[in-house]
Amino acid sequence: MSQTAPTPDRGDLQSTVYEFFMLAMAILSIVNLALLLIYPFEAQSWYLVLFVEGALTIVFVIDFVYRLKTAPSKSGYFFHQRGFLDLLSCVPTLRIFRVFRMVRALRIARRLGGPRVLREMRRELASGALYLVIFVGMTTLEVVGLLEIRFEQHAPGANITTAGDTLWWGYVTATTFGYGDQYPVTTGGRLSVLIMLTVGVALFATFSGFLANLFLSPRKPKPVEEPSADVAEIRALLDQQDRTTAQLRAKLEQLEAAG
C-alpha cells in the first residue's frame, strides 16, 4: 500500500489517512472486547464477534510489521515511539493495549490541527477510499451478522443459524455474488438483507473505482534529477581542459610552422 511520506513534525510513521484507519480499527476492536463480555460465552453471537476479532488481529499484526519495517530507526520506533505496545496489542488476550493506537492517532490530529488534517486527507482520497471500504465492510458484516443471528437462529425453517453461516451469507451477499444456498426467512432478517445489499453495492462500486483509478490513471513522469555539484564541477574542469588543450595545440602548430 502506498503511503505519503510523513513530514518531520508529525511524530508518526505513516500517512494521516492510514492513522485514522487504524484508529477506526482500534475503536471497533475495543467495542468488540465489550461485546465479548456481554454475549454469553460460546454463544453464536459470541463466536461471530470472535471471528471478526481474529480478522482485526491479523490487521494489527500487519500494521506492526509494516511500521517496524519502514521505521527510520527500528529501536527508536520500538522503544521511543512505544512500538512494543503495538506488539502487545497484537496478542488476543491483551487487546486493551489497542487503546494506545487510538491515543496516538488523536495526538497526531491535535498536533497537526484540523485544517492540515483535512488537506492531507483530501490529497489521499484514493487510499482513503480503500481504507473506508475495508472498515465499513468489516463493520457491516459484523453488525448485520449479529442481527441475522438475533432474528434467524431459532426461527422455524431457518438456514442461517451459526456464526459461520452468517459470515458466509454476509460475504456472498455483500459482494453481490449470492449463491442462494442460504437466505433469511424472518421479517427482521430480510430487513437486515436490505442493509447488507445497499452497503455491499456501494462498497463494491467504490472498490471498483479505486482499482480503475489505480490502473488507468496516467503515470506521473519521474522528475529529471539535476546533476550534483560534484558532477557539474567535473564537467566544467573537463571543458576548461579541452579549451586549454586546443590552445596549446594551436600554439604548437604555429611554432612548427615558424620553424
37-51, 84-98, 106-120, 167-181: which is most confident: 37-51
Average pLDDT over residues 184-191: 92
Regarding whether 92 and 128 lie in a shared domain, the answer is: no
* 55-64 contact pairs (CB < 8 A, 24+): 55/138, 56/25, 56/28, 56/29, 56/32, 56/138, 57/90, 57/92, 59/25, 60/25, 60/29, 60/86, 60/89, 60/90, 60/98, 60/101, 61/90, 63/22, 64/90
Confidence of residue 9 (pLDDT cuts 50, 70, 90): very low
Instruction: Identify the residue with better confidence: 238 or 3.
Output: 238
Do 163 and 86 belong together in one domain?
no
- Residues 168-187: what's their mean pLDDT? 84
248: pLDDT strictly greater than 90: no
CA dist 152 and 71 (Å) reads 48
The pLDDT tens digits for 12-64 are 557 888 888 988 999 999 999 999 999 999 999 999 999 999 999 999 999 99
Please indicate, yes or no, if residue 259 is contained in any of the structural domains.
no
Domain boundary among 122, 139, 170: 122
Distance CA 68, CA 85 (A): 12
How high is the pLDDT of residue 237? 77
Q: Are 19 and 6 in contact (CB under 8 A)?
A: no
pTM score of the predicted model:
0.72
Same domain for 93 and 176? no
Per-residue pLDDT, 113: 77
Lowest mean pLDDT among 37-46, 161-170, 202-211, 242-251: 202-211
- Indicate if the pLDDT at residue 158 is higher than 60: yes
Residues 157 and 53 in one domain: no
**CA torsion sign, 54 to 136 to 202 to 213?**
negative
Question: Looking at the domain assignment, is residue 23 inside a domain?
Answer: yes
Q: Among 81, 106, 122, identify where a domain stops.
A: 122
Mark whether 44 and 74 lie in a shared domain. Answer: yes
Q: Which domain holds residue 107?
A: 1-122
| 3 and 77 housed in the same domain | yes
118 and 10 co-located in one domain? yes
In a domain, 219, yes or no: no
pLDDT given at position 61: 94
Is 231 contained in some domain?
A: no
230's grid cell = 560534484
- Examine the domain organization and report whether 33 and 80 are in the same domain: yes
Q: Evaluate whether residue 59 is within a structural domain.
A: yes
How many structural domains compose the chain? 2
Question: Is pLDDT of 100 > 80?
Answer: yes
- 248 found inside a domain: no
Confidence of residue 5 (pLDDT cuts 50, 70, 90): very low
Same domain, 107 and 194: no
Ramachandran area for residue 113 (φ above 0: left; ψ -120 to 50: alpha; else beta): left
Instruction: Take residue 53 and report the three cell numbers written for it.
Output: 476479532
Query: In Å, what is the CA distance from 121 to each residue of 9, 195, 198, 238?
Result: 17, 27, 26, 49
**159 and 104 both lie in a single domain:** no
Q: Show Cβ contacts of residue 53 under 8 Å, excluding neighbours closer than 6 positions.
A: 29, 32, 33, 36, 92, 95
Residue 56 vs residue 73, higher pLDDT: 56
Distance CA 127, CA 135 (A): 13
Q: CATH number, domain at 167? A: 1.10.287.70
Q: Where residue 148 falls among pLDDT bands split at 50, 70, 90?
A: very high
| Residue 243 lies inside a defined structural domain of this protein | no
Separation of CA 94 from chain center = 22
pLDDT for 194-241, tens place per residue? Answer: 888 888 888 877 777 777 766 666 665 555 555 555 666 777 778 888
Residue 225 has a pLDDT of 52
CA–CA gap between residue 21 and residue 59 (Å, rounded) = 11
Whether 162 is in a domain gets the answer yes
Do residues 145 and 42 both lie within one domain?
Answer: no
Domain finish residue from 122, 156, 190: 122
Distance CA 172, CA 167 (A): 9
107 in the same domain as 23: yes
pLDDT at 209: 73
pLDDT of residue 216: 67
